[in-house]
Structures are given as structure tokens and as C-alpha cells.
Structure 1
Amino acid sequence: MSGADQVDALYQEIILDHYKHPHGEGLREPFGAEVHHVNPTCGDEITLRVHLDDDTIADVSYAAEGCSISQASTSVLYDLVHGKDVTTAFGVLEEFQALMQGKGNVEPDEEVLEDGIAFAGVARFPARVKCALLAWMAFKDAATQAGAGTATDAFQEGR
């Protein structure tokens, strides 16, 4: 088995682990905003809630149905943004989005994305990119609705 094959196998293992043992699953209260997103291409669905405490993502809770990629991506999202300040969380979102839209040509930053690097191979399959991004786009909408807009405006202006 080549080094690349070993990495792909490890990434598949990470995705399957998050799929089988999702982190942060279940809808919780309190929450500042709730959104429902559907991927019409494949039927994946998510209802996602965001609770802010000042400029901190105090909680992200969700109920989701779909393929292993969308489910695992949601679990990874929870790990990467829960407890972070809004600016950091939106920075992680931007990094994950760049990875997914890079068609397999973006080198993931493991320090920022942690288990999210496992989705690097998914970026080579355009039909699956929407699956991986479903929860992230729902998070962006819910966080903005919950009042993260001022922090994300500052993030955008700082770029």
C-alpha cells in the first residue's frame, strides 16, 4: 500500500468514525437561531441551531439525515466551532470551504481543520462537495441570524 493509499484509508476511517459516533448531535436549547437546509441533489437534510454567548459559539446542535459524508462533516463542524469565538469559527468555515472548493488541489491546514482534513479527497468529487458543505452553510446562516453578523463583518473587513 502506497503512502497516498494509506492517507486515503486513514481519512476514510476518520469520516466513518464521525459518521458512526457523531459529536454534538441532537437539538438543544437555548438557541439564538435555527435553520433547515436541504441538499436537493441527494436529499441530505439538516436542522441546525446556534447559541451565542456574546461573541462565543456556546453551542451548535443539530438533527441531520443523509450520507456518511454530510453526517461526518456535521460532526467535525461541531468539534471545530463549538466554544470558539465567532471570528475564529468563521475563519475555520472559510478554510473548510476553500478546501472543498479546491477540487483536490488545496493542501489542508491540519492545525486549523483537525479532522476536517479527512475531507480533502471529497473535494475531487463535485457531487459530494455539497454533501460536505451542507452543515457548514447551515452554520453560517444560523450564526449570522443569531447575531454573529457584527463579528463576521469585522472578520471580512480584516481581510
Structure 2
Amino acid sequence: MKRFSVPLAACLLTGTLAAAQPDLVILVRHAERAAEPARDPGLTPAGEQRAEALAQALSGLRVNAIVTTQFRRTRDTAAPLARALGVQPLVVDAKAGHVQAVADAVRAQTGVVLVVGHSNTVTAVLAALGGPKLAELCETSFHHAFVLQPAEQPPRWAQFSYGAASPPPAASCL
């Protein structure tokens, strides 16, 4: 007779062990933000161009879910793609436990998911989803995009750039 832990046995009985998960996750930092208003700025003209470049770069991937934070800069970065695809972004508040909350929200999706985060969360969410542990993004870095196939064992990942190049990174960040 096989023995299972209580959580595993419960999953087997309820059929949630093989729960759906996304095929592909794309993670980016919000585009260049304006200086004002200080509390919740939108995007600069360069940021708006980068948001459009993101929509173009992902146009053929059939993104069916978008996750952002409550901050305008993440919502504005996702907006061109969301409009083009008719997708309503899921907002996960940036607060204590944010990285895990985003990872949980992503795992609840299927298909292709775009996550628009912040310099201090993008690589942490990538790691929480099974990707590599990378340095945080630099405050001046906006061009990075990470792609993760979480269902692969081990999860496969890649990185690409989109939009205009960012300034060279500092030694301790990407």
C-alpha cells in the first residue's frame, strides 16, 4: 500500500494535483516612468513608445492573461497589448507578500501570461515560478524581457530585449 502525505492525498482525491498552469510566462519591468506625480506617475513619451514596442514584440504569442500591480506605470505598460487583445489585466497589489501573490496568480492561469512588474520584483517572480535566481533589475533598465516555460522540468527560460536599449547596468544589477 502506498502512503501519501495528507496534502498529497487530498490533491489526488480532488484532482487538483494536475492543476492547469501557464504554458509560457513573459515577465517585464514597467516602461520608463515620468517624474510627476511622485506618488503614482504614468509613463514618459519614451515609456509609451516602449509599451507599444512590447505590444508589437508579443503580438504573435497569443497572450491571454496579463498581471500588473495597482501602479499606473505597470498598467500603462500593459495597456497597448491589453487593448489589442481585449484582455482585462489582473491587478495584484504591491505590498508584503507581493512576489508570492503574483506567482500564485500566474500559476492559476493557463496559456500565455504577461507579468508587468517592477525593478525589484521581476526577477524575484521569475525565481518564484521556478526560473533562475538573478540580480534585480537596475533602476535605469527597462528593455529586459524574461520568458519562462514553467511546466518543463526543469523549467526552461530565456531572456530577450525589446524597445530602445537601456543605459549600461551597474555592477550589482541587470
TM class by smaller structure? 0.3 to 0.5
Provide TM-score, normalisation by structure 1: 0.33
User: Which structure has more strand as a fraction of its residues?
Assistant: 2
Largest Rg, 1 or 2: 2
User: Which structure has more helix as a fraction of its residues?
Assistant: 1
